[in-house]
A and B are shown apart, each in its own frame.
Chain A
Amino acid sequence: MDKVVNDLFWTTYKNRIPLYTIVELTYRCNLFCKHCYIPQHYRTKTELPTEKVFQLIEEIYSLGGLYLTFTGGEPFLRKDIFELINYAKQKSFYVTVFTNGTLIDKKIVKKLKSVNVNRIEISIYGNKDVHNRFVRCNVFDKVVESVKLLKKEDINVCLKTVLTKENFKDYEFLKNLAKNLDVVLKTDFVISAKIDNDLSPIKLLLSDKKLKNLVKKEDIDITSECQNFDNFVCSAGMNLVSVSPEGNVYPCVEFPYLLGNIFEDDFTTIWQKNALRFVKKFLNIRKYRKCLSCEIKTYCRRCPALCFVESSDIYGCSYVIKKVAKIFKSLFLKNNVGGTF
């Protein structure tokens, strides 16, 4: 990690400053992605009014937050998205929007340019057939067109994907597509259960063999993927926080442990009291006894959120993370990939 990035991370971690805030503006979405962690029946839930998001931005600003991500659902389904980005930019936030890229046209790109958005991240899962099947909608061409429109206006855009059993074969295609579009492709292979504890998305997780080949082939640095578990559990509630469309505050977007609701208390109180209580109670390294004595702890990128959604036990063991850790260990012992511990 770059020295300044590292310094900013640990300064905000030690001082509990919400450096990274993820705001889910809506659960509504025009697609139906197979791996999505948001249950479909959440789509009808209420959403934060514009003024409430403004107030939230003010409070995060006062607390020292810098990186603000607007996500969904599909955030461009909200008519006030540009007002919200503009408001955050006036407070000098680094504003990122996670989108499926299907609602972006020339007019939207012009507006994004005018509000000076910092980054747009667009999800894509494979070639035309694979992508359209994965998101259950015929939108591949539109997504590619959106990337081109954003690039044309010199807006910072990247593609991101999750590799699953269904799109693994398209990884080379995605890399070439990103290269041709002159954008970065961010890749992940960890799949989360739904936040209502529905484990069905995990079925899409790559097999051990495919995952192992991927890590080997891509020369993924195992050391950067793992954590020094002796002094760090997770940044959720320390310098990371998430707010849902109904105003619920969570330690992280995939961690449905309710810290409070901004319609009942102000965000600052929830962050300073409830989130502090949460980290003192749950992010205490000594309580992770199973992990501390686990033989693969050195290779594990432990995630209390995944443990919680998979088994309702924060101190438990995530099936997904354990599977990845086992593969990292086997590869590391063969000395095939990665750096040194």
Chain B
Amino acid sequence: MKYKLNPHLAYRKIGEFLYVVDSKTSMLYKFNETAEIVFEGIKKCFDIDKIVKKIVSEYEVEESVARSDVEEIIKEMLEKNIIEVKK
């Protein structure tokens, strides 16, 4: 499954965190570096495997751990409407 960013977002990396604001809801969210890699991956139309690979190479973690983290982050981003399923 592929995902895409909600088109109503504005975002910026400030300090260690990625801040994302959704103009539809006026909600502001703050994400850590791992979530930022997921966000950037989705922005570049990467599939989950490619995002997991990137996290494994950046943080030297087990693939299963990285995959679980990515799935958790994607679930959270879907719930917050930051991303949507690409049809």
The answer to whether B19 and A118 have CB atoms under 8 Å apart is no
B67 at the interface (CB under 8 A from A): no
A156 — which chain B residues lie within 8 A by C-beta?
A: 8, 23-24
CB distance from A21 to the nearest CB of B (A): 12
The answer to whether B23 and A15 have CB atoms under 8 Å apart is no
A93 — which chain B residues lie within 8 A by C-beta?
A: 10
A282 at the interface (CB under 8 A from B): no
CB distance from A63 to the nearest CB of B (A): 10
Q: How far is it, in angstroms, between the C-alpha of A15 and the C-alpha of B9 when the chains are bound?
A: 24
A333 at the interface (CB under 8 A from B): no
The answer to whether B14 and A66 have CB atoms under 8 Å apart is yes
Interface size for chain A: under 10, 10 to 19, 20 to 34, or 35 or more residues?
Answer: 20 to 34
The answer to whether A66 and B15 have CB atoms under 8 Å apart is no
The 0/1 profile, CB within 8 Å of A marked 1, for residues 14-37 of chain B is: 110001010110001110000000
The answer to whether B14 and A94 have CB atoms under 8 Å apart is no
A116 at the interface (CB under 8 A from B): yes
Which among B10, B12, B15, B28 is the interface contact of A118 at CB below 8 angstroms? B10
The answer to whether A15 and B28 have CB atoms under 8 Å apart is no
CB distance from A61 to the nearest CB of B (A): 8
A2 — which chain B residues lie within 8 A by C-beta?
A: 28
Which among B7, B9, B13, B23 is the interface contact of A119 at CB below 8 angstroms? B23
The answer to whether A118 and B8 have CB atoms under 8 Å apart is yes
The answer to whether B24 and A92 have CB atoms under 8 Å apart is no
**What secondary structure prevails in chain B residues at the interface with A?**
strand
CB distance from A57 to the nearest CB of B (A): 13
The answer to whether B11 and A4 have CB atoms under 8 Å apart is no
Which among A11, A12, A17, A94 is the interface contact of B10 at CB below 8 angstroms? A94
Q: How far is it, in angstroms, between the C-alpha of A119 and the C-alpha of B21 when the chains are bound?
A: 12
Q: How far is it, in angstroms, between the C-alpha of A2 and the C-alpha of B12 when the chains are bound?
A: 18
The 0/1 profile, CB within 8 Å of B marked 1, for residues 254-266 of chain A is: 0000000000000
Question: Would A8 and B9 be within 8 Å (CB), given that A66-B19, A66-B21 are in contact?
Answer: no
A112 at the interface (CB under 8 A from B): no
A182 at the interface (CB under 8 A from B): no
The answer to whether B19 and A4 have CB atoms under 8 Å apart is yes
Question: Would A92 and B14 be within 8 Å (CB), given that A119-B23, A156-B23 are in contact?
Answer: no
The answer to whether A4 and B29 have CB atoms under 8 Å apart is yes
What residues make up the interface of A, taking CB atoms closer than 8 Å to B?
Answer: 2, 4-5, 7-8, 11-12, 15, 17, 19, 64-67, 92-95, 116, 118-119, 156
**15 residue pairs from A and B, CB less than 8 Å apart:** A4-B30, A7-B30, A8-B14, A8-B28, A8-B30, A64-B12, A64-B13, A64-B14, A66-B10, A66-B12, A92-B11, A94-B23, A118-B21, A118-B23, A156-B23
